[in-house]
Every structure is written in structure tokens, then in C-alpha cells.
Homo-oligomer: A and B are copies of this chain.
């Protein structure tokens, strides 16, 4: 495999390429987040552009989890629910996630999968909207949504007596009306990387008395979300992408503080009870965001996430810097692809407009599945999404501009 800085290979000897190598070096040299990469288990053999599917391992996580297993579980055993802070972990870690998505404390709880949280949020949203006006009988869902959101939205609609209507995210504001109980939109489209307008859609929902549920899977940790500022009602997201929480790390649910009182959970597990150990036969919801909990949290996965979030404690790691680098990386990758890949072979599905772009670049091409296999074989790890999308995720915490160039060069070799 050719090194980015070395000449040779199909396109690397071209004048374009030499200039791009210098540009990559300069950008990496000026990168304020460059030092963060050393905190992750990465090697230079692979360009890992699949952090939007599974984030890389922060080096310090194994030590922390070894302590959780050997000391907290192994030696303290049951005492750890109190003494090691296991019981309060969902809210404590929720606040840490909240800080990364513009939520002040007490509004985010971590636990369950994104799918389960979509169900909780959407049923909760519909119940609230219908309590005010029972004529609100429609749920609108982002037509290009990641599938699980759509499947759960269908179930939530069915179980609350609503109809479900798929609507293009861009058209959502215009489609909401007095019949709308809730809308469910992906902040960043998983396939194209398009960033949807959270402020405008949320405002439109509120105008009609509907509630907006946002899926932040592809935006949390990659760009500023500003949930509080835009008065978002509900949000859900996973933590194993840009938050690097580990495989299947628990998801989270945000419920705006002034809505929590009215939140009526469809999954009122004992962990959400006002006094879980009173073992009361009748359900009495806990205060605040606690009422969005369900059952016993999966502690090992939960505490791996907590450890992973420590990367964000570094004052140099701000979401603004992450966003700036994300845009610079994706700009540069698109530029490299434009320079190195023959015209017309690939087409970007990702908006060029910064205001409409997440932290990935999706390129459409013929035979995309085979192309991605070959890229991976050559050490450039992205992923393939049906029907024809090469997806490259750029995690600003650990991706270098030289990685972006190398990915474009290998793509040119494979596809050119």
C-alpha cells in the first residue's frame, strides 16, 4: 500500500497529488485536535473511516473496565450498585452526553437501544399531543430515515391509534398541520450525510402543537446540536459512533425538562419508579428524566461509554473545533476525490453546503459493494450502503487530513 507522503501509484505522481500531499501536511500541522488521535487505538496500516458505524477504542477504556469487572463486580459485588455509583449511572452519563448535544443537566438518560428509545419518545410525544387535542392522529416520519426509526414509528403509531406518513425531511415543515401529533426526523441522514434543519422543523411542529423527536445518531459528537436552544421536545441517539462508546453501547433519550412531568412512558420499568426498592404494586413514576429509565442497565457497556466520554474532558476538545475540523476534512476529501478520481465515475450524495452536511461523505458509484470490498482490502475502511453508496465517516477526533488524501488516492486506484 502506498504511503501518502511517498510518490508512486496511479495518481500520486501527478502535480495535483503533490500539491495535495503538501496541503494535507499543512492541515495536519495546523490541526488543533491532532494530539487527540493518540488517545485512540489506531494504527497507520488502516485508514479508519467507519467511526460513524463503530467508533475507535480510546486507550484508557480497557483499564477502566477491568476495574469495573474485577473490583466493582468481583469484589464489591452487590454493594457496587450504591458504592460504585452503578445505580445513578444512567442519569450521570446522560448529563455528560447532554453536554455534547446542547442539553443542560437532568434531561438525558442513557440506557436501552436507540430503537427502544424511539418507541419511548414517540409514544410519549403522541400521548402528550393527544392529551391536548385528540384530533392529533398522525405521525410524520423522515422518509429517508434509518430503517429502525421507521419500523418503531410504525409500531408506536399503531399502538397509539395514529396513522404514519413518511415525508421527505426537507418537506417536513410544510407537511405538519393540526392533525400532526409528532414528527420523527434524523438530524443527519445515515445514507447521504445530509444535515436536516432541526430549528425550522422543530418550530413548525410547535406551531401546530406537535412534538418533534430527533434522532441524533449521526450528529452527536460530530457537530453542535443545541437541543435546548431550539426547544427540541425529544431526542434519541446511539453512543457507539462519534461518541466512541463501544460496540452496542447504550443509547440515550432526551426529554425537555418542562415536558418531563407529562411524559407517560410506554415502558414503565421498575428503574423508573419513584421508589424502586419500595417494590410497590402500583406504578409511580420517578422525578424528572429518571422516569424515562426502564429496566436494569447493562453496567459493563454503560461504564465503557462513561470512560470513553472522558476524551471530551480535555478543554482542547470542543464541539466547535470538532465541527470545524469535520467540515475541513470532508471538504478536503471531496477536493482530493475531485482531483484524483476521473470525472463522472463517482457522484457525491453529500451536500456541498456546510449548513447541510454532517460528518461523512457518501459517494455513489456503479458496483459500490465490490468497490468497498476492495477499498477495505487495501486498508481504507468505510462501508457500503444500499443501493450504490460508498460511505466514508470522518471522526475529527482521530482522522487526519493525510488519511482523507490516502482514502481518495486508494479510491482512485480501485475505481480509476
- Please report the C-alpha to C-alpha distance between residue A56 and residue B54 in the assembled complex, in whole angstroms: 31
Check A54–B77 contact: CB distance below 8 A: yes
Q: Mark A281-320, 1 if CB is under 8 A from B, else 0.
A: 1010000000000111111111010000000000000000
Nearest-neighbor residue (CB-CB) of A55 within chain B: B77
Check A300–B247 contact: CB distance below 8 A: yes
Does A280 sit at the interface, judged by CB under 8 A? yes
For A70, the chain B residues whose CB sits under 8 A away are 41, 57, 62
Contacting A78 at CB < 8 Å: which of B50, B72, B301? Answer: B50
Does A215 sit at the interface, judged by CB under 8 A? no
Contacting A294 at CB < 8 Å: which of B115, B271, B381? Answer: B115
Check B73–A147 contact: CB distance below 8 A: no
Ordered nearest first, which 8 A-B pairs have the shortest CB separation? A113-B295, A115-B269, A115-B295, A247-B299, A148-B270, A298-B301, A57-B74, A41-B74
Q: Mark A366-407, 1 if CB is under 8 A from B, else 0.
A: 000000000000000101011000000000000000000000
- Please report the C-alpha to C-alpha distance between residue A115 and residue B266 in the assembled complex, in whole angstroms: 11
Contacting A267 at CB < 8 Å: which of B53, B119, B279? Answer: B119
For A160, the chain B residues whose CB sits under 8 A away are 159
Check A114–B300 contact: CB distance below 8 A: no
- Please report the C-alpha to C-alpha distance between residue A146 and residue B281 in the assembled complex, in whole angstroms: 8
Check A295–B116 contact: CB distance below 8 A: yes
Does A94 sit at the interface, judged by CB under 8 A? no
With A54-B78, A279-B147: A268-B155 Cβ-Cβ less than 8 Å: yes
Does A166 sit at the interface, judged by CB under 8 A? yes
Nearest-neighbor residue (CB-CB) of A382 within chain B: B78
A42-75 at interface with B (beta carbon < 8 Å)? 48, 50, 53-54, 56-57, 61-62, 65-66, 69-70, 72-75
Does A233 sit at the interface, judged by CB under 8 A? no
A153-170 at interface with B (beta carbon < 8 Å)? 154-155, 159-160, 166
Q: How many residues of A contact B (CB 8 A)?
A: 78
Check B267–A299 contact: CB distance below 8 A: no
Q: In angstroms, how far is the closest chain B Cβ from the Cβ of A130? A: 14
Check A77–B50 contact: CB distance below 8 A: yes
Q: In angstroms, how far is the closest chain B Cβ from the Cβ of A94? A: 16
Check A115–B270 contact: CB distance below 8 A: yes
- Please report the C-alpha to C-alpha distance between residue A159 and residue B65 in the assembled complex, in whole angstroms: 39
Check B277–A386 contact: CB distance below 8 A: yes
- Please report the C-alpha to C-alpha distance between residue A249 and residue B69 in the assembled complex, in whole angstroms: 12
Check A113–B112 contact: CB distance below 8 A: yes
Does A250 sit at the interface, judged by CB under 8 A? yes
- Please report the C-alpha to C-alpha distance between residue A119 and residue B279 in the assembled complex, in whole angstroms: 19
Q: In angstroms, how far is the closest chain B Cβ from the Cβ of A260? A: 18
For A151, the chain B residues whose CB sits under 8 A away are 268-270, 273, 283
For A278, the chain B residues whose CB sits under 8 A away are 386
For A383, the chain B residues whose CB sits under 8 A away are 78
Check A112–B114 contact: CB distance below 8 A: no
Contacting A240 at CB < 8 Å: which of B50, B62, B296? Answer: B296
- 19 additional contacts (CB under 8 A) given A48-B77, A81-B247, A246-B300: A54-B73, A54-B78, A56-B77, A62-B70, A72-B247, A77-B381, A78-B381, A112-B112, A113-B295, A119-B266, A147-B280, A147-B283, A148-B269, A154-B268, A159-B266, A191-B279, A248-B299, A298-B298, A300-B301
Check A296–B69 contact: CB distance below 8 A: no
For A381, the chain B residues whose CB sits under 8 A away are 77-78
Does A242 sit at the interface, judged by CB under 8 A? no
Q: In angstroms, how far is the closest chain B Cβ from the Cβ of A109? A: 14
**Interface hub of A75, A148, A280, A281 (most chain B Cβ within 10 A):** A148
Check B53–A298 contact: CB distance below 8 A: no
Does A104 sit at the interface, judged by CB under 8 A? no
With A247-B300, A299-B301: A294-B116 Cβ-Cβ less than 8 Å: yes
